[in-house]
Every structure is written in structure tokens, then in C-alpha cells.
Structure 1
């Protein structure tokens, strides 16, 4: 999996006002997998999809 996001993966609705955060599809993050590692401030976090389709973030 690439470390960079495709331009379409992080998009904003032009009708939104203010500084709304970028909206990402979980499908664009996970692809066909069920788990990704997110590096933040030198620490790794694991984001995974549970068997019930919920998201869990752990350090």
C-alpha cells in the first residue's frame, strides 16, 4: 500500500463553509485489507475493522 493518498481520496465538498476537515473513505484507507498502521508523532497506531464493521484505533 502506498504511503501517499490519491488526490481524490482526500476531498472537500465545495458547498461546505468554514474549515471542515478532509473527508476520507475507509475504503481508500483499507483497500481490500482490514487493518492499517498510522504513524503519528513517531508512534504507530493500528486502525482496524472489526467483524461487526466498526473501527478500532489502538496504540
Structure 2
């Protein structure tokens, strides 16, 4: 369980998740803060598929029979 937690921290603090909007070409070197971690069960709430509105577009998050997640536009 500890290894999974360490992996999640590394993934969530990856520079690609920088939410400042500056991207990797930013002149100032900011220390990224970890992204918020949510359980998929908290998002799906017992459903197989949910809709997510993002920037005016509708996306679908779907859990597969094999336990994977698919996000489609």
C-alpha cells in the first residue's frame, strides 16, 4: 500500500499537472503542488458512466468490466 501511495504522490506532483497555466516554458521556476487525489468510486458513485462538463464540452467517464477507466469526448 505504501508503494502505491508513493507512486500516486509522484504522479500527482508531475510538472505536467501544473495548474498555473504557464506550461513548461514559464520563466519562473515554481514548485508544483500535488494535484487533488480522488477515488474513482467517489466520482462514479455506483454508476458505470458519468458525464463531465469541461470548458463547455461534455465528456464521458466510463468504468470498464476489467476495472479500467475510459474518458471520451
TM-score between both structures, scaled by the size of structure 1:
0.68
Which of 14, 19, 26 is 2:33 aligned to? 19
How many residues get paired?
45
Which of 42, 58, 61 is 1:47 aligned to? 61
Root-mean-square deviation (CA, aligned residues, Å) is 2.1
- Name the one with the larger strand percent: 1
Structure with bigger gyration radius? 2
Structure 1's consecutive aligned runs of 4 or more residues displaced over 3 angstroms after TM superposition are: none
Which of 52, 58, 66 is 1:38 aligned to? 52
Give me the whole-angstrom Cα distance separating, in 2, the residues matched to 1:35 and 1:24.
16
Shift of 1:32: 0.9
TM-score between both structures, scaled by the size of structure 2:
0.55
Unaligned runs of 5+ in 2: 1-31
